[in-house]
Structure 1
Amino acid sequence: MNRRSSVVFSPAYECDIGSHVFPTAKYRLVRDALIAAGAVAAGDVATPEPACRDDLLLVHTPEYLDDLESLRRTPRTSMSELPLTPEIVVAYVLAAGGTTLTARHALRHGAGVHLGGGFHHAFADLASGFCYINDLAVAIRVLQREGAIRRAAVVDCDLHQGNGTARIFQDDESVFTFSIHQQQLYPVKECSDLDIGLENGADDATFNGRLAAALPRVWAHRPEIVFYQAGADPYEDDQLGSLRMTLAGLAERDRLVIAGCAEHGIPLVVTLGGGYARRVSDTVRIHQSTCEQALRLAARSANADG
Structure 2
Amino acid sequence: MALFVYSKYYDLKWEAHVFPCEKYRLVRARLLQSGVADVSDFVEAQPADDADILLVHTKAYLRRLYDYTRSPISAIFELEAPLFYETLSAFFRMTGGTIEAARRAILERSFWANIGGGFHHAFPDHGEGFCAINDVAVAIRVLQKEGLIKRAAVVDCDLHQGNGTAFIFQNDPSVFTFSIHQQNLYPPKQKSDLDIGLDDFTGD
1:64 maps to a residue whose letter is Y
Take 1:73 and 1:166, find their aligned partners in 2: how far apart are those partners?
A: 28
Secondary structure (helix, strand or coil) at the match of 1:196 reads strand
Within 1, Cα distance between the matches of 2:187 and 2:159? 10
Displacement of 1:148 after TM fit?
0.2
* Residue 119 of structure 2 is aligned to residue 119 of structure 1: yes
Per mean C-alpha deviation after superposition, the further-off stretch among 117-126 and 11-20 is 11-20
CA displacement, residues 177-215 of structure 1 (integer Å, 9 cap, x when unaligned): 0000000000000000000111101001xxxxxxxxxxx
**Whole-angstrom CA distance in 2 between matches of 1:105 and 1:35:** 21
Residue of structure 2 in register with 1:153 after alignment: 153
- Cα distance in structure 1, aligned partners of 2:28 and 2:137: 24
Gaps of 5+ in 2: none
Q: CA shift at 1:66, angstroms?
A: 0.6
**Distance in 2 between the 1:20 and 1:76 partners?**
14
Contact 1:5 1:46 in 2 (8 A): no
- C-alpha contact (below 8 Å) 1:48/1:98 kept by paired residues: yes
Match of 2:84 in 1: 85
Q: Hey, which bits of structure 1, 4+ residues long, moved more than 3 A?
A: 72-78
Q: Work out the number of aligned pairs and report it.
A: 201
CA distance in 2, matches of 1:158, 1:53: 27
| CA displacement 1:201-259 (0-9 Å, x = unmatched) | 1001xxxxxxxxxxxxxxxxxxxxxxxxxxxxxxxxxxxxxxxxxxxxxxxxxxxxxxx
Partner of 1:79, secondary structure, is helix
Residue 23 (str. 1) matches residue 26 (str. 2): no
Distance between the aligned counterparts of 1:160 and 1:65, measured in 2? Answer: 24
Which residue is equivalent to 2:36?
Answer: 39
> How far is 1:68 from its partner?
0.8
| TM-score relative to the length of structure 2 | 0.93
| TM-score, length of structure 1 as denominator length | 0.63
Secondary structure class of the residue paired with 2:105: helix
Question: 5 Å matches for 1:181-260?
Answer: 181-204=181-204
Q: What is the percentage of aligned positions where both structures have the same residue?
A: 53
Summarize the alignment of residues 164-179 of structure 1 with structure 2, pairs less than 5 Å apart: 164-179=164-179
Distance 1:37 1:74, change over 3 A: closer
Is 1:68–1:77's contact at 8 Å kept on the other side of the alignment? no
Q: Following TM superposition, by how much is the alpha carbon of 1:49 offset from its aligned partner in structure 2, in angstroms?
A: 0.9
